[in-house]
Structure 1
Amino acid sequence: MKKTLRLQTRLTIFVCIVVLISLCITFFTIWSETAKNIHQQERDIALSTAKMVAEAPITAKSLEDDHSYSALRKYTTNVQRITKTEFVVVMDMNGIRKTHPNPQKIGKRFAGGDEKPALQGKEHISTASGTLGRSMRAFVPVYNKDGKQLGAVAVGITLKEIDLIIHQNLIPLYFVTSLSLLSGIIGALIVARKVKKIMFGLEPDEIATLLKERSAMLESTKEGILAVDQHGKIKLANAEAKRLFHNMGIMVDPREQDVQALLPSSGLKQVIETRKPLLDRDVRMNGLELVFNEVPITVKGEIVGAIATFRDKTEVKHLAEQLSGVKMYANALRAQSHEFMNKLHVILGLVQLKNYDDLGTYIKDIAIYQQTETNEIINHVKNSVLAGFLLGKQSYIREQGATLEVICSTQVPNSEDPSVTHDLITVIGNLLNNALDAVSHTKNKNISISFRYVQEQLHIEITDTGVGLTKEEQEMMFEQGFSTKGEDRGFGLYFVDQSIKKLNGHLIVTSEKGEGTTFSLRIPYKQKEDSHD
């Protein structure tokens, strides 16, 4: 596998290259402009110097008289020293030098061949090689008072001198460029390290892998996930969330939608404002029951949004009902097993004592009692699951020192909807458990449950001789988490209320403090066709 550079290294190199390119462009732009300006300045100096010498009276006088050149040579030498030019040469109309920095060159013909336009009366500037090397030269013709041309003046500055001037002018630029490059490298290192820290030290391939894994997890989870920003705009919705939206009749793409407009029952904006989560909240939206959990998203102490996970309550309730039913069945079987073992111990003791008369009487009493107790349930409750549950519950309550009387004034047929049985077990089981708790501290520990089926309505009444409820307790008893029995309680009656609502039933509570409690239920109940006798 090909090894790649780390992100921090790549960022450092990239920023350094960008800085270097920018500095190079800046440097060459300034260098070009500076060289151009210096060349122009030197041209101007050379031309103005040539004009000054050509217009000086001593120049015309010396060329006109063709003698006393010593004064002219002294003059040109001073001008050359003051203007810092390379040479100041005065020549006659034949191109013969009358002055020159090198006395040996005086009297000889001007070298370079670029003096001809000046001898023809034209000012000009050129670049040519002479006895002092390659130079930039300015030529100006010399005239007397009558306007007759007597010769020309040539002032030159060597290109080496010009290059040296350019170099000296660019020394600060070299320093600034080097300092800028160093600052750019340091800045690149700081930026790269800062970016690396922001990305939690992850490399791009690691971030890509995490993104793929995150997307796969979000899309494969069986819960709907919805994330919003601090303004309540939906930023993320996984596949399950979109599926549930479709089931609710919401066909638009939820992203960038206002969550309150799309889901009026959502509490995400409330979560953002209050900074407090909303957990296990039952919400009904467009005919669909959902269980919502909504929590704020905090980054460095600031709320940046909120996230909601939700699931179809039908699935949740189905799982809860299965678990609740299995638990109740297990408790009932355990109670029956325990009761049966106690009876076996009594029979074993009577056998060992050889008290066969009492043994016969005991067995006969058990048989009669068992037949009387079970026949009422078996003969009238046609749903075997519900009948077995009631028998087990009788044994369990008897084991706890209380009695459960089952009264069936009519037959209870099988329901055409199997899920109704699970809801009934949830309702009856929780109500009997509450009744058992209510009578646990009273002298008379009696509980009764009666069934009556009339015109596709199942009437159930559960009465106990317990401590009863106050009016305030009756008003709050179905709220989730409310209980008079301590913490981590208060879910049984809440589930009862939810199950009855699901069954479209009605529940009436009658209770007086110290007088016991009666729960009266009426539930729509369609019998199964083959359940007729």
Structure 2
Amino acid sequence: MTDDSSPRSARARPSRPRRRFATEVLLLQLAVVTAVVLLTTAVFVGVAVQRLAHEAESTALAVAQSVAADGDVRREVAALSVDGTALDEEALAGGPLQLTASSVQQRTGALFVVVTDDRGVRLAHPEPDRIGERVSTSPDAALRGEETVSWERGTLGDSARAKVPVFAPDAASGERPVVVGEVSVGYAPARVYDTVARDSLPVVGVAALALLLGVVASVLIRRRLDRLTLGLQPDDLATLVQNQQAVLGGVGEGVLAVDREGRVSVCNEQAAQLLALGSAGDDVVGRALAELELPGELADLLDPARASSGSPSAGLAGPAGTTLVVGPRVLIVDVRPVAREGVDLGRVAVLRDRTAVEALTRRLDAVGAMTTALRAQRHEFANRLHAVAGLLEIGRVEQAKGYLADVLEHGPLRYPVKHADRLAEPYLQAFVGAKGVEAAERGVLLQLGPETLVAGQVVEAGDVTTVLGNLIDNAVRAAVAGRTTPAWVEVELLDDGPDLHLSVMDSGDGVARPERLFERRRDVPGPSQADDGEPGGGAVHDPVHGLGFGLPLSRDTARRRGGDVWLGSPGGDAHGAVFCARLVGAVQPAGAVPPGPAAAPGRPGRPDPSRSTS
């Protein structure tokens, strides 16, 4: 047996459904509109009643003054106002005063017109039976010569009544007139309220129309509020804002959101810094995409005009992991659509700074290539040691010395790079040698051109690895796919002050589509998914050189410092494609002051010149 009042039972009871915020706003608006209309109507009616009551009092006073000023009335009242004299009620009921009072009452629509003597005894009354009786309300003020107006209850009920004194007609000039009676005229409230009801009909009609318009407007406002808030309640909105601030301020990625009209709705501080839009994202919110200096590809991905005409969530997503070079940064950008309950809300781009990772990856690739080259030469090195040991063992010391001298002159390791002695820069020696080993494994001879001359030292190893590595990899692939045998790739390197110029030529069949070579395209299917020697490439237009990630990234990397990568020649009869590049600031000229220790961390992975040989 369980107790229904237990906490478990309380949790088991279904809770009342919470009324939606838009519904509460609708009810509140209806209540406010109704209250305003009713209050306005009540004020109008109150003012109208007061105005009509005042008009009834003024009319009663004017009628009473008119009757009291009549000469016949004054003479009749003066003749009958004799203290202690008995009155003939029957004679008064058909007398001239009664006839005059009845005539005035009928013409003015008054409730009563009463005439009294100087004692307050009725001389004329709407009900003849009451003639000869004292009036029910005090006539003292009028008998003292004062005019009074008031709302009082008498024999005939409540009325707005005026009491005016009747003066004797024979008062001498300069003497104070003698009061011989008073005239009392009253108007019933019903007559006043009938007028109010009649005058209030237009007001009531307008009030009803205003109430109807208020209801319609409230319903429309509720629908718009529901649509704008996506059905969220105030506490949901507050929680959403808190979560948004926590997420946007707590994540290391940049977030840039655009609404359906192409205006920035969200931009956190990281996004503003990564895209060079300023230090604070708040300055960007509300501005149109066209007003921002965004990279062209990112602007295209966020442009709402690119959305498909079908489902709001279809056709909005850009390629996952799009790589952009913005200034000195390499960014990975993911663009996704945002929708709620089938309503398109725009797009959001998440930007990740991969500058350090990409630089480290390129350096690790270079180190890996060099490690592969060293592993490939290990057997040659061991064989030479065995040869020296064998010569010494059989006593041929002079031959051993000569052999060692040859090794010291040409180096203990021999990279399969033709004319390798033309390149003396340690880093380029090691990197080109490693690429030569990789090319040799694929049956391609890597050689240095006759114009090769680098007198300085490489200081931007990451840029050199990216550009030169991609161009050599593409050239090796083109040479392997070409019809020329033996396959070869020729590299020329020349420094001009701090700039490094390079060209890469292959023995392949040339570039099939030069006009689209540097486009970053991932949406067109191709026969092969291998692009410029980089993993994760997209669809390929050129089956050899590709059209995806490596070449566009190489060009962006060179251009961010003022250099460039371009196609020198699409290919001819004697050779394949020729790619050229200029890397600004990649070389420290000979004789220049070497960078201090603070600059050393910027070039990790650079081989020790004392350990590199060609």
| TM score, norm. by length of structure 2 | 0.59
Which amino acid is 1:255 matched to? Answer: D
The counterpart of 1:489, out of the listed 538, 547, 551, is 547
Which amino acid is 2:229 matched to? Answer: M
> Is residue 496 of structure 2 the alignment partner of residue 437 of structure 1?
no
Q: CA distance change for structure 1 residues 132 and 490 in 2, over 3 Å: closer, same or farther?
A: closer
Q: How far off is 1:15 after superposition? A: 0.6
Match of 2:184 in 1: 154
* Contact 1:453 1:459 (C-alpha < 8 Å) held by counterparts: yes
The counterpart of 1:119, out of the listed 143, 156, 166, is 143
Match of 1:466 in 2: 508
What is the 5 A alignment of 1:518-533?
528=608, 530-531=610-611
Which amino acid is 1:118 matched to? Answer: A
> Is residue 355 of structure 2 the alignment partner of residue 314 of structure 1?
yes
Q: CA distance change for structure 1 residues 450 and 123 in 2, over 3 Å: closer, same or farther?
A: closer
Match of 1:16 in 2: 30
The counterpart of 1:92, out of the listed 114, 117, 130, is 117
Q: CA distance change for structure 1 residues 512 and 170 in 2, over 3 Å: closer, same or farther?
A: closer
What is the 5 A alignment of 1:382-401?
390-395=436-441, 397-398=442-443
Match of 2:161 in 1: 137
Which amino acid is 1:92 matched to? Answer: D
Which amino acid is 1:513 matched to? Answer: G
* Contact 2:475 2:505 (C-alpha < 8 Å) held by counterparts: no
Aligned length: 475
Alignment deviations for residues 72-117 of structure 1 (CA, whole Å, 9 cap, x no partner): 213322322332222211111121111112223211122211x112
Which amino acid is 2:238 matched to? Answer: A
> Is residue 191 of structure 2 the alignment partner of residue 191 of structure 1?
no
Distance of 1:213 and 1:52 partners within structure 2? 84
Q: CA distance change for structure 1 residues 323 and 48 in 2, over 3 Å: closer, same or farther?
A: farther
Q: CA distance change for structure 1 residues 59 and 210 in 2, over 3 Å: closer, same or farther?
A: same
Which amino acid is 1:427 matched to? Answer: L
Alignment deviations for residues 405-461 of structure 1 (CA, whole Å, 9 cap, x no partner): 568999x9xx997x8379537633542433432452414242146799999999987
Match of 2:487 in 1: 446
Which amino acid is 2:234 matched to? Answer: P
> Is residue 92 of structure 2 the alignment partner of residue 51 of structure 1?
no
Q: How far off is 1:27 after superposition? A: 1.6
Distance of 1:134 and 1:329 partners within structure 2? 118
Match of 1:513 in 2: 572
* Contact 2:115 2:181 (C-alpha < 8 Å) held by counterparts: yes
Alignment deviations for residues 356-408 of structure 1 (CA, whole Å, 9 cap, x no partner): xxxxxxxxxxxxxxxxxx9522999999887666434432x23xxxx435689
Match of 2:380 in 1: none
Alignment deviations for residues 32-80 of structure 1 (CA, whole Å, 9 cap, x no partner): 2111111112112211221232233442232244375323213322322
* Contact 2:289 2:303 (C-alpha < 8 Å) held by counterparts: no
> Is residue 230 of structure 2 the alignment partner of residue 200 of structure 1?
yes
Match of 1:255 in 2: 283
* Contact 1:325 1:425 (C-alpha < 8 Å) held by counterparts: no
Residue 161 of structure 2 aligns to a residue in which SS? strand
Residue 98 of structure 1 aligns to a residue in which SS? strand
Distance of 1:495 and 1:229 partners within structure 2? 29
What is the 5 A alignment of 1:313-332?
314-315=355-356, 317-318=358-359, 321=362
Q: CA distance change for structure 1 residues 487 and 78 in 2, over 3 Å: closer, same or farther?
A: farther
Which amino acid is 2:31 matched to? Answer: I
Q: CA distance change for structure 1 residues 129 and 461 in 2, over 3 Å: closer, same or farther?
A: closer
Which amino acid is 1:464 matched to? Answer: D
Q: How far off is 1:255 after superposition? A: 0.9
Residue 125 of structure 2 aligns to a residue in which SS? coil
* Contact 1:137 1:154 (C-alpha < 8 Å) held by counterparts: yes
Match of 1:356 in 2: none
Q: CA distance change for structure 1 residues 433 and 231 in 2, over 3 Å: closer, same or farther?
A: closer
Q: How far off is 1:22 after superposition? A: 1.1
Structure 2: stretches of 5+ with no match in the other structure: 1-14, 81-87, 172-177, 308-317, 340-344, 377-411, 421-425, 522-539, 589-606
Distance of 1:102 and 1:457 partners within structure 2? 126
Distance of 2:289 and 2:231 partners within structure 1? 37
Structure 1: stretches of 5+ with no match in the other structure: 337-373
* Contact 2:162 2:184 (C-alpha < 8 Å) held by counterparts: yes
Distance of 1:464 and 1:210 partners within structure 2? 58
Moved more, 452-461 or 194-203: 452-461
Which amino acid is 2:140 matched to? Answer: K
* Contact 1:427 1:495 (C-alpha < 8 Å) held by counterparts: no
The counterpart of 1:108, out of the listed 123, 133, 137, is 133
Alignment deviations for residues 143-199 of structure 1 (CA, whole Å, 9 cap, x no partner): 343235431111123446545554555455455545544553344233323322333
* Contact 1:416 1:528 (C-alpha < 8 Å) held by counterparts: no
Which amino acid is 2:117 matched to? Answer: D
Distance of 1:254 and 1:9 partners within structure 2? 33
Residue 160 of structure 2 aligns to a residue in which SS? strand
User: Greater share of helix residues, 1 or 2?
Assistant: 1
The counterpart of 1:376, out of the listed 394, 406, 414, is 414
Q: CA distance change for structure 1 residues 385 and 270 in 2, over 3 Å: closer, same or farther?
A: closer
Moved more, 449-458 or 312-321: 449-458
Q: CA distance change for structure 1 residues 438 and 477 in 2, over 3 Å: closer, same or farther?
A: farther
* Contact 1:139 1:152 (C-alpha < 8 Å) held by counterparts: yes
Q: CA distance change for structure 1 residues 462 and 228 in 2, over 3 Å: closer, same or farther?
A: closer
Q: CA distance change for structure 1 residues 214 and 19 in 2, over 3 Å: closer, same or farther?
A: same
Which amino acid is 1:88 matched to? Answer: V
Distance of 2:432 and 2:16 partners within structure 1? 68
Distance of 1:187 and 1:500 partners within structure 2? 61
* Contact 1:9 1:192 (C-alpha < 8 Å) held by counterparts: yes
Which amino acid is 1:103 matched to? Answer: P
Q: How far off is 1:325 after superposition? A: 7.4
Residue 82 of structure 1 aligns to a residue in which SS? helix
What is the 5 A alignment of 1:215-234?
215-226=245-256
The counterpart of 1:75, out of the listed 86, 93, 100, is 100
The alignment-based identity, stated in percent, is 23
Residue 116 of structure 2 aligns to a residue in which SS? strand
Alignment deviations for residues 476-514 of structure 1 (CA, whole Å, 9 cap, x no partner): 866656965499726444444455668989999578511
Distance of 2:297 and 2:579 partners within structure 1? 37
* Contact 2:430 2:612 (C-alpha < 8 Å) held by counterparts: no
Distance of 2:163 and 2:220 partners within structure 1? 58
Which amino acid is 1:138 matched to? Answer: A
Q: CA distance change for structure 1 residues 488 and 19 in 2, over 3 Å: closer, same or farther?
A: farther
Distance of 1:268 and 1:52 partners within structure 2? 97
* Contact 1:268 1:308 (C-alpha < 8 Å) held by counterparts: no
